[in-house]
Structure formats: C-alpha cells, structure tokens
Structure 1
Amino acid sequence: MGIQAPRIFHAKQILNRILENPQGTDRPKGHCAVHVGETSWKIYVKPVSYLNHPSFCHLLHQVGEEFGFCHPMGALTIPCNEEIFINLCNLCSL
C-alpha cells in the first residue's frame, strides 16, 4: 500500500496542473493544455483520456522524475521533442 501513495500524489498534482487554464488558452471540456518542447514551447490541447494510456503515463512518470511538477507555466509541461509527443498522441488516439 505504501508504494501506491506517491503515485496517487503525483496523479493529483498532474491533474491540478493540467486542469488549470494557462494564459487564457481556450480548450473544450474534457481536454487539457500541454506545453511541449525542448527550447521553445508549443501548446497542445489534448483529451484528458490520454492520461490513461500506458505510454502517456510512462512519459509523465519520466518527466516527473527528471524535472518535477513545479513549472512556472502553470500547466503540464513536457520538455521533449514535439515529433515524439505527436507520435505518442497518435498512438493514444487509436
């Protein structure tokens, strides 16, 4: 049971960050804003259901371990190549 607590805590942090509306970004209900990029940031609006996909969860876990969840942008921030993120989203939409 003690092993599950950190994961639940991280999931709550992720959801709190992505459900905020960063910089007035318009997004449909059930979607979240994600900042993606290595040097410059691009905002993607993706369905919250992607968070349940194992590959997306793995990426979030890696980002959380390496960079943490406190980012000044106020939304979920994934510092990775945009092409990798797009390919992952295509996989999640299948």
Structure 2
Amino acid sequence: MAILQKLRRSLSSERRSAEVPKGHLAVYIGETREKKRFVVPMSYLKDPMFQELLSQAEEEFGFYHPMGGLTIPCSENLFVDLTSHLRKA
C-alpha cells in the first residue's frame, strides 16, 4: 500500500483538470516519446496488475510526471488489454 499512498500524495499536488471526471485520473501510456493519454477510474489503482505498472512507472520516473498525469512505460496494447480486463471484472 505504500505505493498507493505515495501516488495519492503526488497526484494531490497536481493541477486538477476539467477534462478528468471525479474519481478518475489521467495517465500517459507509451514506451517512446509519443505518449497517449487515457482517463481511468481510481479503482484501478487497487488491482495487482495495475500496481505492477505503477511500480514500473516509479522505477523509471519516480513520482515526478511533467505531463500533468501519471506516465506509465508500457505499450498501448498491453494497457488497453489490462484496462479491458479490469472493466469486465
């Protein structure tokens, strides 16, 4: 749970965007310079598979995300597959 606490602190210091509905967060996905923005429910943060992605993001970027949302270094296909699975669960 320590990762979630650190992430919550990091996200609480970000500017809130009108484009992100309450209970959601913006994430940027990609392994190259080009990142794609997704808006996902905060409930995804509790899922062990999503937490693994958060660990990878922490290793690569720490908790500083200059794009204004969490940056996760994974392929878009992997992320879409994961979120599709979480939506069905």
TM-score by length of 1: 0.75
When the two chains are superposed, the root-mean-square deviation of aligned CA atoms in Å is 2.0
Secondary structure of the corresponding residue to residue 31 of structure 2? coil
1:49-71: CA deviation from partner (whole Å, max 9, x where unpaired) = 00011110111112212332212
Identity %: 44
Secondary structure of the corresponding residue to residue 28 of structure 1? coil
List alignment gaps of at least 5 residues for structure 2.
Answer: none
For 1:21 and 1:35, how far apart are their aligned partners in 2? 15
List alignment gaps of at least 5 residues for structure 1.
Answer: 1-6
Of 67, 71, 74, the match for 1:77: 71
Residue-pair matches, total? 86
For 2:27 and 2:86, how far apart are their aligned partners in 1? 15
TM-score by length of 2: 0.79
Based on CA coordinates, which of the two structures has the bigger radius of gyration? 1
